[in-house]
Amino acid sequence: MIVLGIETTCDETAVAIVTPGEEGGGRILANEILSQIAEHAAYGGVVPEIAARAHVEVLDRLIARALDRAGLTLTQMDGIAVAAGPGLIGGVLIGLVTAKTLSLVTRKPLLAVNHLEAHALTARLTDGVAFPYLLLLASGGHTQLVAVKGVGDYVRLGTTIDDAIGEAFDKVAKLLGLGYPGGPEVERVAETGDPERFALPRPMLGRREANFSLSGLKTALRIEAERIAPLTQADIADLCASFQAAVVDVVVDRLRVAMRDFAGIAGHPTALVAAGGVAANGAIRRALAAEAGQAGLAFVAPPLALCGDNGAMIAWAGIERLRLGLIDDLTAPARARWSFAEPAAAMA
């Protein structure tokens, strides 16, 4: 089984070709990614119209490059998988229309994948993790704690009530005049800072539900920055370190609540899994690994190259769905919003 995956939901144009491995997991035959960081850097964030135009300009060439790298042709694919949402609707439409065209011409099955589900299943691609497992999905647009019970069977234990973790990192970076994308910049600068200099709040700490809130933390940092302005480089490093330390404390506390709730929904997890762009943050990864160790769980996070948006995760989600006969037709819609996990409250 060989599946082509297309990802265009935000500011990466990505195409990959994946096949199942012999001992579980998958084997990536090609994984092509073109980032649009340079196009959006001047604006401090992703501009939807610019992103959509960039996808149009490079997607066909990227598909050709992936096929060439894998030494395969379109007719050798067993399915065409594409991220059909959630995301910036212009980009989603470009990827979906392209995939539908390829499916129609080659008569190969179309697999309209939820971008978030693809992140959720990446640990099965890289490490062959068995169901059920506890997932922290954290990116620029999403923060969720999810019980992953099986393909298409997800229970949301907690989510953010305002900013996503990655969004908060990006906004802090912009506030402090750091580069874009902001998350890696905050982490880099925090390495030389004092995480105890500023007493920033830990929102939602101790709450019964495993939800997050990052807006107040971001506001508290802004108030501190304005109080000591003008900022020196040491001030900026200390602010970044204090902010990152607060986020880590919040993540650990929320994770403990989710671990408690997991048992009543899916039994004992096989692993703690981190996915999404924020999973590349070293401080958060170390904290999650420590928590998993204390709970007697394996900790699994994708290689850094697969933490962000990529075509390999879309192709793998396509393989998972194709195995179960979950094939889509040409009426599959593009979705700007698309939930993939049922709230835990709905399961009660």
Neighbours of 74 (CB within 10 A): 15
pLDDT over 70 for what percent of the chain? 99
Specify whether 252 is located in the same domain as 166: yes
Task: Answer yes or no: are the C-beta atoms of 158 and 257 closer than 8 Å.
Answer: yes
Mean pLDDT calculated for residue range 71-80: 98
Query: In this structure, is residue 291 part of a structural domain?
Result: yes
Specify whether 39 is located in the same domain as 185: no
Mean pLDDT calculated for residue range 83-89: 96
- Please name every residue paired with 271 in a beta bridge, in sequence order, or none if there are none: 298
Specify whether 265 is located in the same domain as 327: no
Q: Which helix (H) or strand (E) holds 264?
A: helix 233-266
Domain count, the chain: 2
Query: In this structure, is residue 315 part of a structural domain?
Result: yes
Q: For position 7, what pLDDT does the model report? A: 97
Average pLDDT over the chain, rounded to an integer: 94
Query: In this structure, is residue 347 part of a structural domain?
Result: no
Two structure tokens written together for 14: 């990505």
Query: In this structure, is residue 193 part of a structural domain?
Result: yes
Q: For position 344, what pLDDT does the model report? A: 82
Confidence of residue 346 (pLDDT cuts 50, 70, 90): low
Q: For position 36, what pLDDT does the model report? A: 74
User: How far apart, in whole angstroms, are the C-alpha atoms of residue 268 and residue 293?
Assistant: 15
Q: For position 45, what pLDDT does the model report? A: 73
Mean pLDDT calculated for residue range 71-83: 98
Any idea what the CATH number is for the domain that residue 104 is in? Answer: 3.30.420.40
Specify whether 312 is located in the same domain as 298: no
The structure's pTM equals 0.94
Burial 2-16 (b: 16+ CB within 10 A, else e): bbbbbbbbbbbbbbb
- Which structural domain, as residue segments, surrounds residue 8? 3-123+308-338
Specify whether 190 is located in the same domain as 329: no
Specify whether 182 is located in the same domain as 197: yes
User: How far apart, in whole angstroms, are the C-alpha atoms of residue 26 and residue 216?
Assistant: 41
Cis peptide before 132 (omega within 30 of 0): yes
198-256 residue pLDDT tens: 999 999 999 999 999 999 999 999 999 999 999 999 999 999 999 999 999 999 999 99
Query: In this structure, is residue 21 part of a structural domain?
Result: yes
Three-state DSSP class for residue 130: coil
